[in-house]
Amino acid sequence: MNLNKKNKLLVIGFFVVLYVCYSFAISNTINYYKEYQNKQQEIAEDSDMPKLVAQLVQKEKQLDQILSTYDVIISDSFQNDLLKQLTSYSDSYHLKIVDFKEPHIISQKGFTTTSYTFSLEGSFNGCLALLNKVENNPMLGNIKHLNFVKKRNYKTNTDQLFVEVIMQKNKGV
């Protein structure tokens, strides 16, 4: 079959229009359909919520049993307990507590988050060892931020390492 110039342009034009239609309309429709299927699947998974709640209650009981094995010291001032722990750790690692600021308290959505900020001075390895001890003690809270600063003491012509730590303790109201 012999195609003349008009027929060739017509076939090429048809494929160009087909490509444009696909890129602007059909591909978007396919993407929206896939997104719709994903949302339907999420809704179907959400219908299993009572099972999930039962599993979470069971897990909470297990975690309560695990936490009961730790020595829980209930006192009026968590800040004093934290300072005692830091003092004992810093003495064993030859560190110096430079600053211990007032706690910052945020109450939001039924939870109270208390942030404690303190600074240490000493060797890098000693600071890391102390931070590891603090982080592995579940009763002290979570370390949220660390800032290591190296300062030059021009009087003694030595470098000093300071670390500022922000710890958070969460409590349900």
111, 86: one domain = yes
9, 54: one domain = yes
In this structure, the dihedral spanned by the alpha carbons of residues 66, 69, 70 and 71, taken in order and rounded to 10 degrees, is 150
Domain end (from 68, 99, 119): 68
64, 83: one domain = no
- pLDDT at res. 44: 76
- Calculate ∠ Cα 42-48-53, nearest 5°: 120
Contact present, 81 and 73 (Cβ < 8 Å): yes
* Alpha-carbon 151 to chain mean position: 30
Structural domains counted in the chain: 2
Within-domain flag for 73: no
Compute the distance between CA of residue 57 and CA of residue 67 in angstroms, rounded to an integer.
Answer: 15
Compute the distance between CA of residue 173 and CA of residue 157 in angstroms, rounded to an integer.
Answer: 51
90, 42: one domain = no
- Number of neighbours of residue 89 by Cβ within 10 angstroms: 20
Within-domain flag for 64: yes
Report the CATH number that the domain containing residue 116 is assigned in CATH: 3.30.70.60
pTM: predicted TM-score of the whole model, two decimal places: 0.54
- pLDDT at res. 71: 52
Calculate the alpha carbon distances from 101 to 5, 11, 38, 98, 159 in Å. Answer: 84, 77, 48, 10, 24
Please give the residue range of the domain that contains residue 92: 78-172
> Which segments of the chain have a pLDDT < 50?
1, 74-75
Within-domain flag for 129: yes
